[in-house]
Structure 1
């Protein structure tokens, strides 16, 4: 945990984050983000997204990639594998993951810096039980992703970062 100077104060905290005040500014520290990860699932030539309705978005459905906080004993790679399985039902091996880069979701108010991975899985990958955090899985062929972006279907910062890294680093 980072040390805080004498002019920093905890305004609110829960098991997932702390709202800190430093002078006139507030920011959010997420202790679990140290090994957090987001993963772009590519099954054959199709990207799998989660359709989510998050309270902060007042019920608007968004298409997002799996992501989450790391657990105390995990690396970000282990977190990516766990989140992928929990949220999509897809089981991947470490050799199927490629680290794409890091992203800071909102530098003005969040301290988190998250690793972004690509999971490349064969088209015949079997799925397992998944949690019910997502309403459904949305499968979009790679060649249709630019259209989805142009139509505003993809807005989530983790998803946009993962796609940017994918196209810049691997294509």
Structure 2
């Protein structure tokens, strides 16, 4: 493209186009101070005139409501006091229960220890016995009657062996 626009547009006039010509400076704009508008006038509110409170007679409903609210407050206070007393009593009862349970537990433990000690001493004494049938008889209950089978012969043999020492 000769002498025209690099994008293909034809020149507007017949003036020669110089490609290496200096670019003209952009027009200089003078900074002017901004225009400041005065603030819009604020409307002044009219003064509020408070009227003196007029003492109105309370209606029957308002009186009843006030009495009801007072009654409810009294009930709530008494219930809270009863609740606090019940909680305190429950704490005392729980402490007493725990103390009784511990005392009962300790007494059972000491009773069991003493019974175990007596039983161990009896076993040691049985081991020292000369007649082994005495040990066998102590392990068998000879006073109880059998329900379904006849054990009288066995009982009599055990009693006889207990009373007669072994002839060795």
Q: Same fold (TM over 0.5)?
A: no
Please tell me the TM-score bracket, short chain as reference: under 0.3
TM score, norm. by length of structure 2: 0.17
Q: Which has the higher helix share?
A: 2
Q: Which has the higher strand share?
A: 1
Q: Which has the higher contact order (CA 8 A, sep 6+)?
A: 1
Larger radius of gyration: 2
TM score, norm. by length of structure 1: 0.16
